[in-house]
Amino acid sequence: MCGIAGLIHKGKSSNVGGEMTAMLQALKHRGPDSTGYAVYGEGTEGDYIMRLKVAEAEDMDSGSRIHGVIEDRIASVEAILKEHGALVKAKAAPTEYCLRYVISHDGDTAKMATHIEEDEGIEILSMGNGLELIKDLGDASDVAELYGLEDFTGTHGIGHTRMATESDVDIRSAHPYWAFPYNDISVVHNGQITNYWIMRREMERKGHRFMSNCDSELLAVYTAHNLANGVPLEESLRRSINEIDGVFTYLVATKDQLGMAKDTMAAKPLVLYESDDLIAMASEEVAIRAILPEEIDTHDPYDEEVRVWQA
């Protein structure tokens, strides 16, 4: 029954972190297992923001051994960055198992990311000029406090509250998903993809990597594959309605766009608010009213509806 939410400011930056937290907290009842954010700041030309995890939150109960493993993995990451000529400009560790790097790199970013993930305990959650992808166990207020999201300034973002139904309760299976190794693309999804394994094998044959068994990750990989091959976001969303089977409503964010698509049956809810300056959407209207308590008009997108907005 998961909850999804997204917003985009057309003409200015705003407190996207605080707005997304309010929206996702209002959807807490739809998904108590984990909460995730993909938020987009303005970024600095030539820099990449890399978010990664070196363990699962649940691993931290394993005693002193896991701390030694984490130290080794962090050392490995930093050695690989150096080997590939990446300059670390800033480093933060909101938790022991999740880190944030700001790096300058003009080499093959995909090759570097692949090298980092050779240790199966390390997963890059996102890499991009503007994208920061944060996800963890707990509700939105817990995750926002843990990662300092309440004051994040940016132009747009998407988020997800997850009720685990077919995969584990861990960070690996939480949304949003980033499509390795393509910068600044993220996806959240409510629904079920019934041709997941067929589509996944097709994407794997084309060289794409999957880090979970969650069907929603397919949408990120599918979108990134299309965009990398010159397909505009709106066309990719339209193609997905015909090529991906199941019931789904999903949101896609890129560096400067936000898009949505609903499947043929439109079984998964989405409520949309649109003004000259702001677009906000969520699984339930209560999430939109968490940031716009005044009198507003909303509507439900139709079946097979596709929309794309520009930041």
CATH code of the domain in which 32 resides: 3.60.20.10
Structural element, H or E, at residue 219: helix 216-228
Least confident of 85-94, 193-202, 260-269: 260-269
Question: Could you tell me if 292 and 281 are in contact, meaning their C-beta atoms sit under 8 angstroms apart?
Answer: no
Of the residues 73, 106, 129, which one is the last residue of a structural domain? 129
- Angle made by CA atoms 215, 191, 302, in degrees to the nearest 5: 135
Evaluate if residue 195 carries a pLDDT over 70: yes
Per-residue pLDDT of 46-90, as tens digits, reads 899 999 999 988 888 766 688 889 999 999 999 999 999 999 999
Same-domain pairing of 48 and 38: no
Of the residues 129, 156, 179, which one is the last residue of a structural domain? 129
Of the residues 108, 129, 150, which one is the last residue of a structural domain? 129
Same-domain pairing of 109 and 171: no
Q: For the chain, how long is the longest CA-to-CA vector? A: 56
Work out how many domains the chain is built from and give that number.
2
Least confident of 100-104, 201-205, 278-282, 291-295: 291-295
Same-domain pairing of 49 and 37: no
Per-residue pLDDT of 122-159, as tens digits, reads 999 999 999 999 999 889 999 999 999 998 999 999 99
Same-domain pairing of 67 and 188: no
pLDDT at residue 304 in the model: 92
Same-domain pairing of 243 and 291: yes
Evaluate if residue 164 carries a pLDDT over 70: no
Q: What is the mean pLDDT of residues 83-106?
A: 95
Q: Catalytic site residues? A: 2
pLDDT at residue 67 in the model: 86
Same-domain pairing of 144 and 292: yes
Same-domain pairing of 264 and 280: yes
pLDDT at residue 62 in the model: 66
Same-domain pairing of 144 and 289: yes
Same-domain pairing of 200 and 61: no
Evaluate if residue 113 carries a pLDDT over 80: yes
Name the residue range of residue 108's domain. Answer: 44-129
Q: Which residues contact 73 (CB under 8 A, 6 or more apart)?
A: 54, 55, 119, 121, 122
Least confident of 81-95, 99-113, 173-187: 173-187
Q: What is the mean pLDDT of residues 90-119?
A: 93
Look at residues 160, 261, 177, 171 and name the one whose alpha carbon lies nearest to residue 224: 177
For residue 14, give the DSSP letter: B
Same-domain pairing of 213 and 277: yes
Evaluate if residue 278 carries a pLDDT over 90: yes
- Angle made by CA atoms 2, 211, 115, in degrees to the nearest 5: 145
pLDDT at residue 11 in the model: 80
Question: What CATH number is attached to the domain comprising 70?
Answer: 3.30.70.60
Same-domain pairing of 143 and 268: yes
Same-domain pairing of 161 and 123: no
